[in-house]
Amino acid sequence: MIGKENDKSGLIRDPRVLLLVAGIIVSIILIHPHPTDGGVSTNLNYGLELAGGSWLQLELQGAIVEIDADPARIIEYEYRGLLNDSDLRVTEVKTGSIRFVTTKEVTEEEIEDLHYGRASLLVEENRTTVGISTTREEVIRTYLQNRLDTEVKILRVENGTAYEIRRETNESEIKDALKAVNGRVISYTRGVSEETRRETKAILDTKLNAIGLKDIPIRTVGEDYILIDLAGVDIATAMRMAATPGKFEIRIQTRENETAHVLYGNEIEHVGIPRESENVVWGVPFRLTKTGAEKLREAALKYNATRDPSAHHLLMYLDKKEVFSGPLVPSLAEKIEKTPVRILVAQTGAGEEGREEAKELQIHLRAGALPVNVKVIGSGQVSATLGARFKEELGVAGILTLIAVALIVYRRYKHREIIIPMLSTTMGEVVMILGFAAAVNWQLDLASLTAIIAVIGTGIDHLIIITDEVLHQERGELPTEKVFKDRIRRAFTTIFAAAATTIAAMIPLGYMGFGALRGFAIVTIVGVLIGILIARPAYGAIIRHIITQN
């Protein structure tokens, strides 16, 4: 009697069994089943097919073009029209600047209104020399932006420079815009860049998660499409959420822990591309409306931010969450003291960290507005009732699977002492897979739950291999310790080979697939790893103990 109790306590203290028990307990805590008014709720997230909701397929509209144009011709054409001066001419084109001469009276603000760059004036008798800090690429980008009335982004490509036009356009429209400056289109490609696809996905992720919809599958497909699954959201709400910006606000620090409202996001007229300044600091340029610039100047003067910038930071909020804080730089403070300033740069710091923060701040400044126009080319809805029915049917399928397995195993071994630990280990695997899904906020869809059922089948196969190897059929003898270890080693060699084959087959599917295929592959891989690293070793120890005791 004492010997049996010692054997039982030895099994409980076995590290393999302890690891299995610990994995199940931690998984149950992560799943967190708890009673609610409607029954029992958990931390598990269900996908579109199981929770009901809607899906959207969005097409990203834009074009990438390579262009040949003379920046001097562009500057002459633009400013002759602005200043009504047919005699205006460019006198100098350098790497970082362009100069032209005009007989008209001008101000820096008038020159900067076309957004080609910062202006400097040298006023002489009967003429003014204007200098604009810019580059060839910036001149072409700004010209396209002004003519096409949309944001244009500079891209570095293998052959030099290309321009991403961030709205639907065609080659004829671009050629028409270039005729006035004798420019030409070298190449035209419909679509957007990889970075723009990532940026669009990041904005959708940020916006949808900010309103409480966690772990929403947003997938880029090919070069022009994005798929969004919105579990528990009707189609009208889904379209509104995908297109409506958030609430952006700029406030000014009045005292140490107090701020005052300055302006809302509707006073931001344009948000530029993150860029690195001459002093190697990254920042995001943005342009205020005239009213917005006046509001900023009024607040800066009222709270003495122009005289003491370090004590009166400008703070930016998106949906009441602070996304940026920084003082006015001395040169800007001095300029705001004299006149409203429309073009500002929010500096985020140097190096790679500053660059990443600038990209994130650009998203916030847009207040959730997408960088390119999108067109809904497909949509659909799954009712909550249908989703609940799918869950019930999958639950029934899982229970029937376990019953069928139990009957087959009992018929093979005729011992409930073997059936109980086999089914218990299998159920433990399922709980740990669900615990993993809860820990990483993975959305369980039909394919994921189907993968769990498949893992049950492969798991039982492995447990049968272990059981057959451990059972000693000759003369009713128990295997010696050496024979037992050899048989366990042989069983696990077979199991690891089978597991490696399954994982190798699933990795390409998980990497290259999307949606249901990717979910099936990932859950299968996780299930196999949990099985061979935790469940199988524990079962080997348990079945050895059972056979020894019986």
The stretch 493-516 carries a mean pLDDT of 80
Query: Where does the pLDDT of residue 519 fall: very low under 50, low under 70, confident under 90, or very high at 90 and above?
Result: confident
* Exposed / middle / buried, residue 34 (Cβ in 10 Å: 0-12, 13-18, 19+): exposed
Could you tell me the CA-to-CA distances from 448 to 19, 161, 360, 383, 471 in Å, in that order? 25, 44, 32, 19, 35
The mean-pLDDT minimum among 183-187, 292-296, 519-523 falls in 519-523
Of 193-197, 420-424, 515-519, least confident by mean pLDDT is 515-519
Average pLDDT along the chain: 83
Give the least confident one: 27-31, 146-150, 169-173, 529-533: 146-150
Residue 85's alpha-carbon distances to 178, 215, 228, in angstroms, are 21, 58, 52
pLDDT of 476 above 50: no
pLDDT band at 433 (very low <50, low <70, confident <90, very high): very high
Confidence of residue 1 (pLDDT cuts 50, 70, 90): very low
Can you tell me which residue has the tokens 């009441």? 320
Amino acid at 152: V
pLDDT value for 219: 74
pLDDT score, position 472: 56
* Phi, psi torsion values for 543, nearest 5 degrees: -70, -35
Q: Say which residue, 321 or 547, is predicted with more confidence.
A: 321
Average pLDDT over residues 268-274: 84
DSSP 245-285: ---EEEEEEEETTEEEEEEEGGGEEEE---EE-TTS-EEEE
- Interatomic CA distance for residues 365 and 272, integer angstroms: 10
**What is the per-residue pLDDT across 386-404, written as a single tens digit (0 to 9) for each?**
777 877 887 788 788 788 8
Q: What is the pLDDT of residues 218-234, one digit of tens each?
A: 777 777 788 887 777 77
More reliable by pLDDT, 517 or 290 = 290
pLDDT at 170 over 60: yes
What pLDDT sits at residue 256?
77
Alpha-carbon gap, residue 372 to 395, rounded angstroms: 43
At residue 175, the pLDDT reads 94
Q: What percent of the chain has pLDDT over 70?
A: 89
Tokens of 289: 């409306």
Q: What's the pLDDT score for residue 165?
A: 93
The DSSP-derived string for 468-506 is HHHS--STTPPPPHHHHHHHHHHHHHHHHHHHHHHHHHH
pLDDT at 474: 44
pLDDT at 419 over 70: yes
Q: Is 230 within 8 Å of 216 (Cβ atoms)?
A: yes
Tokens for 456, please give them: 């049950």
Separation of alpha carbons 279 and 276, rounded Å:
8
Separation CA 12–CA 542 (nearest Å):
9
Contact partners, residue 206, CB within 8 Å, separation at least 6: 363, 368
Element housing 219 (H / E): strand 218-221
pLDDT at 540: 85
Reference 227, options 193, 246, 204, 195; nearest CA is 204
pLDDT tens digits, one per residue of 88-98: 999 999 888 99
Please say if the pLDDT value at position 79 is more than 90: yes
- Poorest-confidence range of 49-53, 63-67, 284-288, 350-354? 49-53
Q: Provide mean pLDDT across the span 476-497.
A: 73
pLDDT of 253 > 70? The answer is yes
Query: Residue 124 pLDDT more than 90?
Result: no
Question: Per-residue pLDDT for 513 more than 70?
Answer: no
As a whole number, mean pLDDT of residues 45-55 equals 76
CA angle at 165 for the pair 194 and 185, rounded to the nearest 5°? 110
Note the pLDDT of residue 63.
92
All structural domains of the chain: 2-52+383-549 (1.20.1640.10), 63-192 (no CATH), 249-351 (no CATH)
Average pLDDT for residues 451-477, to the nearest whole number? Answer: 75
Q: Which of 394, 453, 457, 425 is nearest to 535 (CA)?
A: 425
Given this model, what pLDDT does residue 2 score? 43
pTM of this structure: 0.63
CA distance 479 to 471: 8
Asked whether the beta carbons of 78 and 114 are under 8 A apart, the reply is yes
Q: How high is the pLDDT of residue 449? A: 82
Q: Which residues contact 257 (CB under 8 A, 6 or more apart)?
A: none
Higher pLDDT, 130 or 219: 130
d(CA 109, CA 251): 25
pLDDT band at 529 (very low <50, low <70, confident <90, very high): very high
What pLDDT is attached to residue 213? 47
Strand (E) or helix (H) holding 197? helix 194-210
Average pLDDT over residues 344-371: 82
